[in-house]
């Protein structure tokens, strides 16, 4: 990832510290006061198959007989944001989820009070329920003072994981997110190891968030064997991204996963001969005519818009969202799962069957192996609120 200077400092080392289910972070003195600390740690976990995040703090050799609160700096890799929603199972003190240079109180969220005893020891913890799907990098901290003595907007961080400028962050993906191509100056998958190949002319432009992929109608991005990389979910999926249409790119898929005979997988593309409309098609019978279709209109040119498409085989449902709103759906998709043969490719900005290439920008491409509910999709769309935090 190539971020701006402050962002580089904050995200340095993240890829090497990826841990899907949990880990233990070392606490060190923070930048406000640097009080004594013998040792400190935070053990965190996100339960397999769930959206519950827990963290337990332990200090020893700290300044004795002091009251603190615990919290975290939480950086969504797609946006500087908070977990959103949920509640905690332990602790009665209030704290904050913050970003550098700005502090944001979180309504209805409590954190644990960390009381240091006369020997300099302390322990507490908290649990978030209903964490939004996404990719996260987290820095844990201890803030001086206890509620109400520590105001939400002015509370010194005296201990933190990763040291000054968060040299090492705990990184995890909420279950279900299987790939994330941000286009921030590289083609890397920020969740896993699914670097996507650049075919022809592919560059970078100012994106909706930092940088995005710049496609001029002659190049695209592609993974030749997505099934081998775990990127071919048959029972359901979600794909979301930001798109900028420079010109009408007739049938040039912004995202498709299918074989060359057009008898499997799905596509999301500008609809044939219909500027401003998008086609979402999912194949469930293994023949070229076996696609279920949605073709919503109203997609603009010459500005960024957000689009997401979901498929759920269990409920026979397809949906398309634009800028946070549901714009098309059907609940009668036949068959039991999406048809896949193992010979599919995955392409961004290119129609695998007809060869059309997209002319415009594509940014923040997220791929999930299940159909996200509307509440989570709206969260993905609106999580840009704090995106200026690392500028």
Q: Which of 137-146, 174-183, 311-320, 336-345 has the lowest mean pLDDT?
A: 137-146
Question: Using CA of residue 347, residue 50, residue 94, residue 117, what is the dihedral sign?
Answer: negative
Tell me: domain 5-173, CATH 2.70.50, correct? yes
What percent of the chain has pLDDT above 70? Answer: 67
Contact 311, 183 (CB under 8 A): no
Instruction: Tell which wins on pLDDT, 375 or 300.
Output: 300
CATH 2.70.50 boundaries in the chain: 5-173
pLDDT score recorded for residue 1: 25
pLDDT digits (tens, 9 = 90+) for 87-144: 332 222 223 333 333 333 332 334 567 788 999 898 887 776 655 555 556 677 787 7
Instruction: Tell which wins on pLDDT, 53 or 24.
Output: 24
C-alpha span between 355 and 338 (Å, rounded): 22
Neighbours of 373 (CB within 10 A): 14
pLDDT score recorded for residue 135: 57
pLDDT higher than 70, residue 4: no
pLDDT score recorded for residue 31: 58
Mean pLDDT of 7-11: 20
Q: Please give the mean pLDDT across all residues of the chain.
A: 76
pLDDT score recorded for residue 378: 79
pLDDT higher than 70, residue 312: yes
pLDDT digits (tens, 9 = 90+) for 341-380: 999 999 999 999 999 999 999 998 999 999 988 877 876 7
pLDDT higher than 60, residue 174: no
What percent of the chain has pLDDT above 90? Answer: 43
Instruction: Tell which wins on pLDDT, 208 or 160.
Output: 208
pLDDT higher than 90, residue 293: yes
CATH 2.60.120.200 boundaries in the chain: 177-390
pLDDT digits (tens, 9 = 90+) for 217-268: 999 999 999 998 889 999 999 999 999 999 999 999 999 999 999 999 999 9
pLDDT higher than 50, residue 179: yes
C-alpha span between 180 and 252 (Å, rounded): 21
Instruction: Tell which wins on pLDDT, 81 or 246.
Output: 246
Tell me: domain 177-390, CATH 3.40.50.720, correct? no
Instruction: Tell which wins on pLDDT, 308 or 123.
Output: 308
pLDDT score recorded for residue 307: 97
What are 338's two structure tokens? Answer: 């999406």
What torsion, rounded to 10 degrees, do the Cα atoms 17, 21, 26, 28 define? 80
Q: Which of 16-30, 169-183, 276-290 has the lowest mean pLDDT?
A: 16-30
């Amino acid at each position: 990832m190539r971020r701006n200077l402050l962002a580089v400092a904050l995200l340095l080392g993240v890829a090497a510290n990826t841990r899907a289910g949990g880990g233990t972070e070392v606490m060190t003195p923070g930048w406000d006061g640097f009080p004594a600390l013998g040792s400190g740690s935070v053990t965190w976990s996100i339960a397999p198959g769930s959206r519950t995040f827990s963290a337990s703090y332990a200090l020893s050799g700290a300044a004795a007989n002091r009251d603190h609160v615990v919290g975290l700096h939480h950086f969504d890799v797609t946006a500087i944001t908070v977990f959103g929603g949920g509640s905690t199972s332990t602790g009665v003190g209030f704290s904050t989820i913050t970003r550098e240079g700005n502090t944001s109180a979180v309504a209805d969220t409590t954190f644990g009070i960390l009381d240091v005893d006369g020997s300099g020891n302390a322990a507490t913890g908290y649990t978030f329920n209903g964490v939004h799907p996404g990719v996260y990098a987290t820095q844990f901290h201890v803030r001086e003072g206890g509620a109400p003595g520590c105001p939400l907007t002015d509370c010194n961080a005296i201990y933190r994981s990763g040291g000054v400028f968060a040299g090492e962050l705990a990184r995890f993906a909420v279950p279900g997110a299987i790939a994330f191509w941000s286009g921030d100056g590289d083609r890397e998958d920020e969740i896993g190891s699914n670097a996507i190949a650049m075919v022809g002319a592919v560059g970078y432009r100012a994106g909706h968030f930092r940088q995005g992929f710049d496609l001029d109608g002659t190049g695209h991005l592609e993974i030749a064997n997505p099934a081998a990389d775990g990127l071919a979910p048959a029972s359901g999926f979600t794909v979301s991204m930001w798109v900028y249409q420079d010109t009408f790119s007739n049938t040039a898929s912004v995202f498709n996963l299918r074989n060359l005979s057009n008898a499997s997988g799905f596509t999301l593309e500008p609809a044939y001969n219909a500027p401003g409309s998008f086609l979402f098609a999912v194949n469930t019978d293994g023949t070229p005519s076996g696609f279920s279709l949605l073709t919503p209109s109203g997609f603009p040119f010459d500005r960024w818009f957000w689009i997401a498409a979901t498929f759920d085989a269990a409920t026979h449902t397809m949906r398309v969202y634009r800028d946070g709103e549901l714009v098309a759906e059907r609940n009668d998709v036949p068959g039991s799962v999406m048809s896949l043969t193992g010979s599919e490719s995955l392409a961004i900005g290119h129609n695998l069957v007809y060869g059309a290439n997209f002319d415009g920008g594509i940014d923040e491409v997220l791929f999930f192996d299940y159909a996200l509910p509307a509440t989570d999709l709206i969260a993905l769309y609106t999580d840009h609120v704090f995106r200026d935090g690392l500028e």
